[in-house]
Structure 1
Amino acid sequence: MGHEERTYVVTGAASGIGAATADHLSAAGARVVQCDVRDADVTADLTTPAGRELLVSEVTRRTGGVIDGLIAVAGIAAPSPRTVRLNFFGTIATLEGLRPLLAAADRPRAVAVSSLSAIVAADEHVVDACLSMDEEAAATAATGAVEAGLGRVVYPSSKLALNRWLRRAALTPGWAKAGIPLNAVAPGVVDTETAHKAFLDDAATRALVSAAMPQPLGFPGPVAAIAALLAWTAGPENSFMTGQILYADGGAEATLRP
């Protein structure tokens, strides 16, 4: 029961975890529709309503309206309201927009990428605005956090809101009753180009991050491990797990929440 003859959509597929996941699935014989803002089969900016609509229409056109798996990886970690627009609203627009294509498949699965950082820090104003589905209020709250010198909490806040939305949504008729497991994978710090640019290449910042998110199995972790877990979660064998946040973080969550 493998990935062959299944069609997957992967967002954020041009780099990092998304690229590794697309490669993993392709190597297993699956058809992968890669989506990103560059170097992809479908080029769309998920921070905008127009980009979200374009993603759905282009994926529908390319797949004939049926997909077996959806892996929503696209995200950024900038101290900016764009982070909330992409990580929360763009991800939900992707999941909800492509849900009818999943419902048309025999063994549909969906998984989003969260983050270990959601348990480390968050701004409840950003989280609450997200969960009330008020994108402009959430963007305003994110801007307020940045102006208050708390820009670093925008990313984890977007992921915490995503976790809470997903736990609720997974149980609703559109997902569970339709037979579509919906889960999230929450990586710790893994060895991606983005992580290197953001903090791994700077010794002082690297030390701070590794102290805040201790990973007994290694820091940073391997990207391939995240890709394999995402592929399994979106694969046919995962028929009975839904609404879960899977921490693939080298033991950090267990360390921080013993």
Structure 2
Amino acid sequence: MARTIVVTGSASGIGKATADVLENAGDRVIRVDLKEGDVTADLGSAEGVSAAVDQIADLSGGVIDGLVANAGVSHPTELSLKINYFGTVALIEGLRPLLAKSEAPRVSVTTSAATLQGNDPELVDLMLAGEEEKAIERGTALTAQGPQIGYANYSSSKRAISRWIRQVAPTREYAGAGIGINGVGPGQVFTGMTTDLFSTEEGRKMAADAMPTPYNGIAEAEHIAAVHEFLISEGNARMTGQVMFVDGGYDAQSRGDNIW
């Protein structure tokens, strides 16, 4: 039976690949993006998230079976906090009542292998505490110190959303309602956002030094989409609270046995 799945950031990259894979498999996909899609909304603002939730409710008839919360940016600024964490959490929470009406509700979030990199612990804690104003203030201060320091906005947003997934997964609101929620942490991926980076030898070397991918090199968006497809499927009936690093071996190389 066809399922109704919402995919955010669906106009390009991983989001488009995921939406295409799901549609080709026979699911009904509600595409959400900033400028094109079934729903157009700015998921970096409270008003945009609210408008998106209302439109998705109308289009779906009040029930959705899955959500691929993929929309995000890799900015070394506080914009990463607004979209990658606060907007993502608000959208998931806003759509939770629609998911709870499904017989097999699933959520899969695009996080990043950058969650394993250096971040700002204070900023992560502020996000997890829901202190948006203070987090934006902290993020703005990091931005002012230049892109190298400002990168912590991005890595911290991904660390925070990864931790949030694990915190909410076993709760009454999620596990208790039958809603499975997991994350996908891509490493290096060919997308529109990385075209410039991977177009030069210098850029490719910089990326390889920061995030080595010993297994099969740089991924295509379709490789990440395949993992999202499984995580939101009815077949994924027991996995929740996990962040699956689809990173060509970066996690295993960087953390080794330390996770145990």
Q: The TM-score by the shorter chain falls in which range?
A: over 0.9
Q: Pick from 44, 58, 73: which aligns with 1:61? A: 58
CA contact (8 A) 1:131 1:161 kept: yes
How many Å separate the matches in 1 of 2:167 and 2:84? 17
SS for the counterpart of 1:257 is helix
CA contact (8 A) 1:122 1:157 kept: yes
How many Å separate the matches in 2 of 1:178 and 1:7? 18
Q: Pick from 68, 72, 76: which aligns with 2:69? A: 72
AA partner of residue 57 (structure 2)? T
AA partner of residue 25 (structure 1)? L
CA contact (8 A) 1:190 1:219 kept: no
- Deviating runs (4+, > 6 A) in structure 1? none
TM-score by length of 2: 0.95
How many Å separate the matches in 2 of 1:211 and 1:127? 25
Report the equivalent of 1:194.
193
Q: CA deviation at 1:148?
A: 2.1
Structure 1, unaligned runs of 5 or more: none
Report the equivalent of 1:8.
5
Query: CA deviation digits over 1:176-217, x for unaligned, max 9?
Result: 0001111000011111111113x2123323212211211112
Report the equivalent of 2:121.
124
CA contact (8 A) 1:109 1:182 kept: yes
> Does 1:154 pair with 2:153?
yes
Q: CA deviation at 1:39?
A: 1.5
Q: CA deviation at 1:121?
A: 1.5
SS for the counterpart of 2:189 is coil
Give identity over the alignment, percent. 41
How many Å separate the matches in 2 of 1:219 and 1:18? 21
TM-score by length of 1: 0.96
Q: CA deviation at 1:144?
A: 1.0
Structure 2, unaligned runs of 5 or more: none
AA partner of residue 92 (structure 2)? L
How many Å separate the matches in 2 of 1:203 and 1:131? 38
CA contact (8 A) 2:77 2:151 kept: no
How many Å separate the matches in 2 of 1:124 and 1:196? 30
Report the equivalent of 1:164.
163
How many Å separate the matches in 2 of 1:202 and 1:118? 25
CA contact (8 A) 2:80 2:154 kept: yes
CA contact (8 A) 1:210 1:219 kept: no
CA contact (8 A) 1:218 1:250 kept: yes
Report the equivalent of 1:237.
235
How many Å separate the matches in 1 of 2:195 and 2:218? 10
> Does 1:26 pair with 2:23?
yes
Size of the aligned set, in residue pairs, is 254
Query: CA deviation digits over 1:81-119, x for unaligned, max 9?
Result: 111000000100111110110100001101101100110
SS for the counterpart of 1:65 is coil
AA partner of residue 95 (structure 1)? I
How many Å separate the matches in 1 of 2:7 and 2:23? 11
Query: CA deviation digits over 1:38-66, x for unaligned, max 9?
Result: 11100010111100100100000000110
CA contact (8 A) 1:68 1:109 kept: yes
